[in-house]
Structures are given as structure tokens and as C-alpha cells.
Homo-oligomer: A and B are copies of this chain.
Amino acid sequence: MSSLVLNVQGMSCGGCSGKVKKAVEAIDGVDKVDVVLETGAVTIDYHQPTLQADQFKEIIEDLGFDVVS
């Protein structure tokens, strides 16, 4: 299993972080997503080796948030 942490800006309430969590968890091959609202850290555990950071970034940016790293 692989794990990846993205730094997401623009989440300002539980509704924001919940949307990010829900959208990333819906990606095929993703096992678990933890979002820390205060820091913007989004930790993604996944088992599908073809998944890449850019795919996660795109999904999150489509929701109106910025992925800075």
C-alpha cells in the first residue's frame, strides 16, 4: 500500500474538509483519506499503483481548493 500527503489550501470548515475527503475516497483504489482542517494536510492511503499525485490534485482543485504541494 502507498501513502501520500498533499498540502491543500482553502478549506475553512468541516464542510470543506468533508468534501475533499469524500471526493478522494471515491477514487477507485483509494483505501483511506485523512484530512486535517487546521493544517491543510490530506493523507491518502491507496493500493492502486497506477494512481498518481496529479490525479488527486485534479479532483481536489475541481472542488475549488488549491493544492500547493
Complex Cα–Cα for A62 and B63 (A): 7
A:22-39 near B, CB below 8 Å = 22-23
Q: Which residues of B contact A13 (CB under 8 A)?
A: 12-13, 15-16
Q: Which residues of B contact A12 (CB under 8 A)?
A: 13-16
A interface bracket (residues with beta carbon within 8 Å of B) = 10 to 19
Choose among B11, B22, B23, B62 the residue that contacts A15 (Cβ–Cβ < 8 A): B11
- B19 A15 Cβ-Cβ under 8 A: no
- B11 A64 Cβ-Cβ under 8 A: no
Give 19 CB contacts A-B under 8 Å.
A10-B15, A10-B19, A11-B15, A12-B13, A12-B14, A12-B15, A12-B16, A13-B13, A13-B15, A13-B16, A15-B16, A16-B16, A19-B63, A19-B64, A22-B64, A23-B64, A62-B62, A63-B63, A63-B64
